[in-house]
Amino acid sequence: MKKLLIDVDTGVDDAQAIMIAMAAPNVQVLGITCTHGNTALENVCRNTLRVLKVCKRLDDVPVYRGSSEPLLGRVLRAADFHGKDGLGDAPDPEAPGLELLQSEGAVAAMIRMVDDNPGEVTLVATGPLTNLALAVKLDPSFPEKLKALYLMGGNTDSRGNTTVCGEFNFAADPEAAYIVLNQFCCPTYIASWEFACHNNLSWSFCDTWLAQDTEKAHFMKKIFKHTMKVCLELERFQKEMCAGVGFTPCDCYAIAAAIDDTFVTESEQVAVTVELDGTNTRGMMVLDYLDMLKKKHKVSIMKKVDLVKFKAMLMGALQ
C-alpha cells in the first residue's frame, strides 16, 4: 500500500483528485491537510469533508485545518473559476460540519505522520504551498523523511494563468513555493500548468465521465457545472495561450502520478527556483537549464502521461 498525505485547497479539481485517491486500491491516505487558495480556508475544509462524504470515507480519512493566508503578500482566490465556495456554488444542506475536523493543526499533523512513517509517505500538494513551507521551517528534517513530493503548480514557459507569468498555486504564495523548491531535497515531481494543458482530455470524454449513473458522478456533475461553463467560454483564449481546448483536471495529474509510477511517460530533470522580486514575474517558476544556480537537487518536470490510464482513473473515481 502506498501511503499518501494530501495537501489541498479544495476547489473542483482538488475534489476530482481526492476522489481518484479514494478509489485507488493500492493507496492508504493517511490524512488530508487544508490550506487557503481556491477559496477561503473554512470553505476548503467544508469542501474536503463533502468530498469524503460522497466517497463514504469520512470515518477513516482525517482532515486537518491549515494555513488561512500566504506567508506574505496579498490573498488570491479563484472564485470566478471554482465558484465563491470552491465547489461551483452548489451547496448541500446535509453537508458535514466543521466539527468533524481534527483538533490537531495541519502542519503539526504533517510532521507527526511523516515522523511515524519515515521514508514511506508520499506528499501530494495541489494548492498553495504554505503548509509545506511552515512544516520545513518547524522541522528542517521534514523533507528528507518523505518518500517523494508531487506538486501541481508552477509553469515552465512563463505562461501565467493568474498573473502575467505566474500559475495560481505559486502566485498565491510565492515565498512558500520558493521555500519548498529550495529546501525540499526528496524526489520531487511537478505537474506544471503548461504540462496539464498539453495533456488535456476532450469534452466528449468529460460528458461520458459525468454520464455514469452513480452518486459520485451526480455529485461531480453538480459541482463542475459552473467551472465547465467558464472553461467553454474561455476556450479561444486557452487555445491561444496554451495547447488547445478541452477538459484539464489539473490537480488530478499530480495524484495520478503519485499513485501509478508508470503514469508519466516522459519527463525532464532540471533545477528550479521561484522568482520573488519581478514586477511581472513574481511567483514564476524558473528552470535552470544552464546550471547557473549550481543546485545539486533536480526536480522531475512531467512532460507526457499515459492518457488511457488517466481516463481509467477518472472513470473509476466516479463509480
250 CB-near residues (< 8 Å, 6+ apart): 13, 126, 152, 191, 193, 196
Q: What is the dihedral of CA 171, 275, 161, 296, to 10 degrees?
A: -100
CATH of residue 25: 3.90.245.10
What's the rounded mean pLDDT across residues 158-184?
Answer: 95
Residue 184 structural domain: 2-317
Name the least confident of 111-115, 205-209, 227-231.
Answer: 227-231
> 304 versus 230: which is more confidently predicted?
304
* Per-residue pLDDT at 241 exceeds 60: no
Q: 226 or 245: which carries more pLDDT confidence?
A: 226
Report which of residues 32 and 237 the model is more confident about.
Answer: 32
Number of domains composing the chain: 1
Q: Is the pLDDT of residue 245 over 80?
A: no
Q: What is the pTM of this model?
A: 0.96
CA distance 236 to 191: 23
Q: Which of 7, 9, 173, 251 is catalytic?
A: 9
Per-residue pLDDT, 244: 53
Of 12, 4, 72, residue with least CA distance to 223? 12
Say whether 116 is catalytic: no
**What grid cell was written down for 42?**
473554512
Torsion of CA 194, 196, 199, 200, to 10 degrees: -120
Q: Which residue has the higher pLDDT, 228 or 111?
A: 111
SS3 308: helix
